A and B are shown apart, each in its own frame.
Chain A
């Protein structure tokens, strides 16, 4: 397995490749931690294999937005004619000023809102046509991470992650191995019995990432995941997301963190006033002309 690549060019000194690697998994140093036991990592590994096969076939899109417009009942148009295709395994930054439509876009993806016009197709399913009863099942294909973590304060790290499986009717004997596996991936095995208040911000966000990952999602949506974290911890979280992306999970990350976006040179989709004004692979946070 190849460690997350952080290009040296355009990176702040403290976020150099070596530095970032040191922060990615504080409890374990080798990539073995990421896929700890053959059985535990099976599904992710299978996905990596599948991904290899998929690459023979032309890109399979996890997410397709076609001509999407969203107008709220109060008349405000949050998104206009948005076209976006995210292939399987992609890592996409969604950038833009506040009010540009990032949050609305994410709400459409998790079907908290329905597009006024156009199609939002997730994993082959048009969300607007999806019956309400099937929405929960669809949401399990998405792992979502927020700026404010959204952890339950009375539950331990382990319970917070297990909660996502319990409330979706997972068989009880499958919960333990699944939770242990994702906690190993995010490097929180040692902290599994602590409650969120006993954790640092970075550890809380890693708990949230573990919870998002536990359903084995096809797409991780991160809404400002580093917004509440200091720069060093932000890099740590980002490295973790990159690792997860390497394991084959598509990642869409909305952020204001220009430094990170510019440094990583991933695909950047910029929104402004509800329109996509830029979509470039290897882009920076700001337009470079």
Chain B
């Protein structure tokens, strides 16, 4: 086994350098395809992360009647909290609501006119954070004034959230589709590039067959060579991405504004994707190309 491995690796290395032009052509193709793949992946991941961030902000706010007692409010909060699709329930008392309002006025540097009032004009409320934006309707309905007399009204952001969800779903499906499409195109182009490198050595393969080399001895050097091309292509691609990360981050921050999204946070996935796709496509490409010569 070890001599075989030594032989295959040695031959792969020799094969790469003896057909340097072909090998570099294949590597360059690989880099272009991987950049395309990684680019699409970054855009899709960025958009989805942005939308998920927005989804997490979705909450149901129920304003309560001014005459609701503390006990009634706490009972309502406890009941809502028991729901499985609810993350947290915050009770905002009238005093707290006023405090918040004043804070926000202050933060915006605007004059606080509430001090001119004799009484607190704000309503108490319960703020419900959801585990999943999709359960918005159910939670909104369970807080309806018809169910709970102490509820004055529930702010309905149903339409907004549904649109958001639709966009996310479309993006996820279409994006995955595009990604698969790009992956397939990359596969064909890379297989073709590697095939050219293999065809250039058809005579060598023929001689190997004639002198009685087993399929493994013919195939594995090429597979290793393909893996090597893939590895080299991945490293170059990652180097290019690393170089482009800074300006790209700037663009992303500008584009998505507040989103807590950085290329850095995607590094691990990106390395896995590029390395996996590169080495994987290299191996598959060689395997398929050599197969043509072995089936006879």
Contact = CB atoms under 8 A, between A and B. Distances in A.
A87 B210 CA distance: 23
B212 A152 contact: no
Interface in A143-198: 144, 150, 152, 154, 163-164, 166-169, 171-172
A166 B209 CA distance: 13
Nearest to A164: B211
Interface string A106-126: 000010100000000000000
Contacts of B206: 150
Given A136-B215, A152-B204, A169 B7 contact: yes
B211 A163 contact: yes
Contact of A137 (B3, B4, B204, B212): B212
B253 to A, nearest CB: 53
Given A168-B217, A169-B217, A150 B212 contact: no
A106 to B, nearest CB: 11
A152 B207 contact: yes
Contact of B212 (A133, A154, A168, A171): A168
B210 A167 contact: no
A152 B200 CA distance: 12
B211 A211 contact: yes
Contact of A152 (B4, B7, B203): B203
Interface residues of B, number: 19
B88 to A, nearest CB: 65
Given A136-B212, A136-B214, A166 B7 contact: yes
B257 interface: no
Contacts of B210: 110, 139, 144, 150
Contacts of B163: none
A110 B207 CA distance: 12
> For the side of the interface on A, what is the size category?
20 to 34
B240 interface: no
Given A112-B296, A152-B203, A169 B3 contact: yes
B203 A150 contact: yes
B51 to A, nearest CB: 54
Contacts of B212: 136-140, 142, 164, 168, 215
Max chain A CB contacts within 10 Å: which of B206, B208, B212, B296? Answer: B212
A3 B211 CA distance: 29
B217 A172 contact: no
A149 B71 CA distance: 100
Contacts of B207: 150, 152, 163
B218 interface: yes
A69 to B, nearest CB: 20
B18 A154 contact: yes
Interface in B1-37: 3-4, 7, 18
A167 B217 contact: yes
Nearest to A111: B296
Contacts of B18: 154
A171 B6 CA distance: 12
Nearest to A134: B214
A169 B214 contact: yes
A38 B212 CA distance: 28
A150 B210 CA distance: 10
Interface in B173-217: 203-204, 206-215, 217
Nearest to A146: B210
A168 B214 contact: yes
Given A144-B210, A150-B210, A163-B211, A169 B4 contact: yes
A139 B4 contact: no
A134 to B, nearest CB: 9
Contacts of A110: 210
B203 A139 contact: no
Nearest to A172: B3
A133 B215 CA distance: 8
A150 B207 CA distance: 7
Contacts of A169: 3-4, 7, 214, 217
Max chain B CB contacts within 10 Å: which of A133, A136, A142, A172? Answer: A136
A215 B211 contact: yes
Contacts of A139: 209-212
Nearest to A170: B3
Contacts of B203: 150, 152
A110 B206 CA distance: 12
Interface string B211-234: 111110110000000000000000
A163 to B, nearest CB: 7
B218 A167 contact: yes
A50 B217 CA distance: 32
Contacts of B208: 167
Contacts of A136: 209, 212-215
Nearest to B295: A132
17 contacts: A112-B296, A133-B215, A138-B212, A150-B203, A150-B206, A152-B203, A163-B211, A166-B7, A167-B7, A167-B217, A167-B218, A168-B212, A169-B217, A171-B3, A172-B3, A211-B211, A215-B211
10 A-B pairs with least C-beta separation: A139-B212, A140-B212, A167-B213, A164-B211, A136-B214, A136-B212, A167-B208, A167-B217, A168-B212, A144-B210
Interface of A: 110, 112, 133, 136-140, 142, 144, 150, 152, 154, 163-164, 166-169, 171-172, 211, 215
